Structure 1
Amino acid sequence: MRGVPPTPPAGVTYDKDGPLLRIVGQFRGFLSGPRDLGTDGAELDRLIARQRDFFAARGEAVEWKTRAHDTPADLTRRLRAAGFVPEDRETVLIGRAAEMAVQESVPPDGVTLRRVTADADMRRIAAMESAVWGQDRGWLADDLIGRVAAAPDEIAVYVAEADGEVVAAAWLAFRAGTDFASLWGGSTLAAWRGRGIYRALVATRAALAAARGVTYLHVDASDDSAPILRRLGFTAVTTTTPYVWTPEASGDR
């Protein structure tokens, strides 16, 4: 699951720097490595600095995705020393698609679930996400639009609507060559939480994954979502924390 992702959207490129996968052209850069980076000490510091300097030259932020069981153990300390700042830790959970597909998939009265592909719907999703998180997530519309356009069979985007308003959204990303698909999104407007919408979106996506022959579902879950997913039968296997470097935080322009 850490390898090169599916088909990149237009304008997004994948390359390697030593053990690292580097993704360029998204709303911010992205870095991920194998469980064991195979390097440490001064060599690791140089690898980290090279990524920071690469994105500094582009004037872009970059996320280095870490997992709790990764080595070397001092990777996160070295990332901090290089100016990378941790964001919220998430729990990595795994569940069997067929088992999740038989969970309750009926949304509450007045709410309908719909798979969407239109650009306008992606912008509605981004507006809803911006309201949920209290920050501008307009970049999400461009990201989803690009992914659907590049490889419509590799992503399935769903909205939950009430009276024409998007009250929740979530998507499913397939990973060819593996037994996994990943659940993303799942944000719900505050007034609509606790009504089973999140569970319905999980079951709907699980049913599609199972129909496509996917064995397992993977989720990087927030502290709000992880308890729900555990109750549905997902198992926590580790945690993941993004370490982010931004030009503004470092005083670069």
Structure 2
Amino acid sequence: MTTTELLAAYDQQLRTDAETPSAVAVERLGPLRLVTFSGGRGFVTYRDLDGADAPTIAGWVAETVEYYRAQPGIDRFEWKTRGHDHAPGLHEALLQNGLEADETESIMIGAASGLAADVDLPPGVTVGQVSDEAGIRAMCAMQDEVFGSPDSDGHAEAVLRRAALDDGMQLWVAEHDGMFISAGRLEPVPGTDFAGIWGGATRPEWRGRGIYRAVTAARARAALDLGKTLIHSDSTEFSRPILERSGLVRVSTTTPYLWRRSSGADGN
């Protein structure tokens, strides 16, 4: 498939309710989907902005902030932008309404078969799935440490709630001497050709030794076993070259804009 065809498949198959399988509520505002997740988190996404002009888009942004501000259980939300969208004035409107741009990532797509290669692992390293509570908590703690996230149980609780849904998500880890050294999850997208690979993290001292590639290959093989032929991921500059070497291509970019109630954006 060409890059144009891959991007079209992404827009048509993934920018739907399939993008937010664990949502607890979804409201519509024009073309926007205002999603609520458990744990006080909101999320804004859409297939496109219907060719709207800058004033219309600015109005949607302001209404979205008011929508989440009016829900005391929501302490943060993310507005997920894509670099290929026609969105006049969106960046300015988001900043003017108290959101902050986070790191831009590459939207990577490619054949699952390209990732499902055999990888030689260092001695003593094994790759497998984890599904028990203790294993999930240990995996999340390792990811939080690698990503520099606050030390809390929030991440683990969210993953445990998601695992309880039994919706096909798989958690894969690399282990050495009883310690998790790399991890990532696989999310098959029902009704599509896609599975997503997310949350890839490797301890710094183990990087550059093929371990992340091995965890990724295991997830790709699992995706193929489920009948998924395409893999997608939002990749940092660390993981993008690894995925490119396996045949994935960058079809666009995505930049999350974040609103936090504690930031003062709510006016309190």
TM-score computed with the length of structure 1 as normaliser: 0.92
User: Residue 118 of structure 1 corresponds to which residue in structure 2?
Assistant: 132
Contact preservation (8 Å) 1:8, 1:147 = no
Is 1:51 matched up with 2:64? yes
Please report how far the alpha carbon of residue 82 of structure 1 lies from its aligned counterpart in structure 2 after TM superposition. Answer: 1.4
Is 1:61 matched up with 2:76? yes
User: Residue 6 of structure 2 corresponds to which residue in structure 1?
Assistant: none
Alignment of 1:91-240 (within 5 A): 91-101=106-116, 103-136=117-150, 138-152=153-167, 154-240=168-254
What percent of counterpart residues are identical? 36
Is 1:244 matched up with 2:263? no
Is 1:42 matched up with 2:55? yes
CA distance in 2, matches of 1:208, 1:105: 15
Please report how far the alpha carbon of residue 52 of structure 1 lies from its aligned counterpart in structure 2 after TM superposition. Answer: 0.9
CA distance in 2, matches of 1:251, 1:99: 44
User: Residue 43 of structure 2 corresponds to which residue in structure 1?
Assistant: 30
CA distance in 2, matches of 1:200, 1:159: 10
CA distance in 2, matches of 1:220, 1:100: 15
Deviations 1:180-206 (A, max 9, x none): 110001101111111111100111011
Residues 16 and 106 (structure 1 numbering): CA distance in 2 closer, same or farther, change over 3 Å? farther
Residues 157 and 179 (structure 1 numbering): CA distance in 2 closer, same or farther, change over 3 Å? same
Please report how far the alpha carbon of residue 96 of structure 1 lies from its aligned counterpart in structure 2 after TM superposition. Answer: 0.2
Segments of structure 1 that go 5 or more residues without pairing to the other structure are none
Segments of structure 2 that go 5 or more residues without pairing to the other structure are 1-13
Contact preservation (8 Å) 2:108, 2:251 = yes
Deviation larger for 206-215 or 19-28: 19-28
Please report how far the alpha carbon of residue 83 of structure 1 lies from its aligned counterpart in structure 2 after TM superposition. Answer: 1.4
Please report how far the alpha carbon of residue 8 of structure 1 lies from its aligned counterpart in structure 2 after TM superposition. Answer: 4.5
Contact preservation (8 Å) 1:94, 1:219 = yes
Please report how far the alpha carbon of residue 99 of structure 1 lies from its aligned counterpart in structure 2 after TM superposition. Answer: 2.2
Query: Does the residue aligned with 1:109 lie in a helix, a strand or coil?
Result: coil
> What is the root-mean-square deviation in Å for CA atoms of aligned residues?
1.9
